[in-house]
Amino acid sequence: MKMHDVIVIGSGIGGTLFSALNHKKHDLLLFEKDSNLGGCSSTFKRFNNHYNTGATTFVGYEEGHVVKRFFDEIEYTPNLIQTKIGVRIVQKEKEVDRVQDFEAFLEEIEKNYPNENNRYFWTSIKEIDEKFWELKKLYYAKYSWSAYKKSLACVSEILKTYKGQLFISADGFIKKTLGEISPEYQAFIDAQLLITLQTKSKELSLLTMALGLAYTFHKTYYVQGGMGELVEGLLKDVPYKKNEAIVKIQKHNDYYEVHSTKGIYKSKNIVLNSTIYQSAELFEDLEIKKYYNKFKFSDQSAFVVYLKVKSKADFLHHYQIILDKNIPNSISNAFFVSFSDKDDEKLSKDGYSVTISTHTKATIWEGLIKEAYGAKKRETEAYIKEAFLNYFDSIQKEDISRAFSGTAKTFQSYIGRQNCGGEALKIKNLLSVPSCTTPFKGLYNIGDTVFAGQGWAGVALGVDVLNKEFNHG
């Protein structure tokens, strides 16, 4: 039986980037349980139409950012459309366009949420974010002297850069600068943080909030052909196996034996792009199971509605609609809408491909009998569709030629995970956040449940650390 240098399990952003960067350096093999590559960032075909699995904002493809550096190293140039408006945020009669131009954005904020300290607040958010991406020693790994040394150097640089700002809570900064803001303004801030960080301001530090709110001050893009095209382009020369789930991994003295639904493989190293919370299920070794089980499960998940809309109207690529009250079976009063580009020959065949997502808990969908599960699913889908039609008055009910939805159970079935993202980085958990390295030789994790978090930029930072640990130690 052939011995591989490394087997990567899961073709999400982390598994894809790591594999694309390393397949020429090592005997590498990537596994994906689904028929589509990309995990949460995949594009799938159903009812003869293509849909993006989740929200489709692509950020970080600009000079000085790790995503652009990786793409250049892989020698892959994606087919992108730069968006003039990153996302339009709608709240009743209020509309704020999140644009890269700071003064244009500030003008809209002042018009919709007037506050004498708006400029100070949003300038601080922008400057904190800019400083972060200028840091030279971003690193977080454990379980070796060299890893701890580099991680301590990172902490030292962050402390030196931010000083007292590092210990300010997000809510504390809001109150100090903006005062007691209206519930509408707070909802505007929190709706965006739920999208980028999976939590609201009351749970965050100022630094984390700034990173979550500032992403549209960077260049934002639409990916032609869907997010799956991006993943497939990156993996064009990478050896991979689709439709082959990993069911068991056995640890031996100097290698791992990997059992899939189709065969048995050997590898000196394993890189898991599964969530940190579900990795224990793959192992029989009690010490490995104990390691993974110590991480508290984050049951944050998504409810996603997929539509095919026949319309001649023009739409932005992204909207976020904030409602008065929470969506049924959800933890949010907002949903994020992604429209395919009108000229996208793949996604916009026979009309716009629309992905609508909101936040829910995986536990809401557990333990239900078939009838109860179906009823909850229909209730949430109908509520979102009605709110969608209420805002997009150029779209009529009969223009929607296809509609279906997915829950945490759906995602578990197709991409092998229930939750969306891990725990947001905070001061109190800074040293307990899972790293890409583990206490076990040759076993690594990557993805949005380990440092540095979710999205292309966050996961790419984690890949950067793993790449250095794996290749240089």
* pLDDT grade for 198, boundaries at 50, 70 and 90: confident
Residue whose C-alpha is closest to residue 334's, from 346, 350, 322: 322
Give me the sign of the Cα torsion angle 55, 17, 155, 293. Answer: positive
Residue whose C-alpha is closest to residue 420's, from 199, 205, 241, 103: 199
Cα–Cα–Cα angle for 164, 169, 173, rounded to 5 degrees: 85
More confident residue, 434 or 433: 434
Q: State the chain's mean pLDDT as an integer.
A: 94
Distance separating alpha carbons of residues 224 and 273, to the nearest angstrom: 25
Distance separating alpha carbons of residues 213 and 197, to the nearest angstrom: 9
Beta-bridged to residue 82, according to DSSP, are 221
First CA to last CA across the chain, in angstroms? Answer: 28
Who contacts 367 (Cβ-Cβ below 8 Å, separation ≥6)? Answer: none
Average pLDDT score over residue span 275-289: 94
In this structure, CATH architecture of domain 300-415: 2-Layer Sandwich (3.30)
Average pLDDT score over residue span 401-406: 96
List helix spans (H) across 135-205.
Answer: 145-162, 170-178, 183-197
Distance separating alpha carbons of residues 262 and 245, to the nearest angstrom: 8
Could you tell me what percentage of the chain is helix, strand and coil, using 3-state DSSP and rounding each to the nearest 5? 40, 20, 40
The interaxial angle of helices 66-74 and 13-22, nearest 10 deg, is 40
Question: Is the separation of the CB atoms in 96 and 108 below 8 Å?
Answer: yes
pTM: 0.95
Exposure letters 315-352 (e unless 16+ CB within 10 A, then b): bbbbbbbbbeeebebbbbbbbbbbbbbeebebbbeebb
* pLDDT grade for 298, boundaries at 50, 70 and 90: confident
Residue boundaries of the structural domains of the chain: 3-80+223-295+426-472, 87-222, 300-415
Which residue type, as a one-letter code, is found at position 288? I
Distance separating alpha carbons of residues 239 and 256, to the nearest angstrom: 19
Distance separating alpha carbons of residues 226 and 92, to the nearest angstrom: 30
* pLDDT grade for 426, boundaries at 50, 70 and 90: low
CA distances for 442 relative to 148, 419, 438, angstroms? 18, 26, 8
**Peptide linkage before 452 cis (omega within 30 of 0):** yes
Tell me: the pLDDT tens digits for 299-335? 889 999 999 999 999 999 999 999 999 999 999 999 9
Helix (H, G, I), strand (E, B) or coil at 366: coil
Beta-bridged to residue 406, according to DSSP, are 304
Who contacts 110 (Cβ-Cβ below 8 Å, separation ≥6)? Answer: 118
Distance separating alpha carbons of residues 357 and 254, to the nearest angstrom: 43
Who contacts 399 (Cβ-Cβ below 8 Å, separation ≥6)? Answer: 309, 310, 311, 351
CA distances for 306 relative to 123, 158, 215, 400, 469, angstroms? 36, 41, 25, 10, 39
In this structure, CATH architecture of domain 3-80+223-295+426-472: 3-Layer(bba) Sandwich (3.50)
Who contacts 257 (Cβ-Cβ below 8 Å, separation ≥6)? Answer: 249, 250, 264, 265, 266
Provide the CB-side half-sphere exposure for 314 (13 A, CA): 1
Provide the CB-side half-sphere exposure for 237 (13 A, CA): 10
Helix (H, G, I), strand (E, B) or coil at 395: coil
> What's the pLDDT score for residue 24?
97
Who contacts 398 (Cβ-Cβ below 8 Å, separation ≥6)? Answer: none
* pLDDT grade for 27, boundaries at 50, 70 and 90: very high
Burial class (CB in 10 A: 0-12, 13-18, 19+), 460: buried
> What's the pLDDT score for residue 415?
83
> What's the pLDDT score for residue 203?
87
Average pLDDT score over residue span 26-45: 95
| Residue owning tokens 């639904």 | 261
Tell me: the pLDDT tens digits for 355-365? 999 999 999 99
> In this model, does residue 237 exceed pLDDT 90?
yes
> In this model, does residue 29 exceed pLDDT 60?
yes
Average pLDDT score over residue span 227-234: 96
DSSP letter, residue 268: E
Question: Is the separation of the CB atoms in 9 and 273 below 8 Å?
Answer: yes
- Flag the least confident range among 71-75, 131-135, 228-232, 419-423: 419-423
> What's the pLDDT score for residue 394?
96
> What's the pLDDT score for residue 473?
65
* pLDDT grade for 427, boundaries at 50, 70 and 90: low
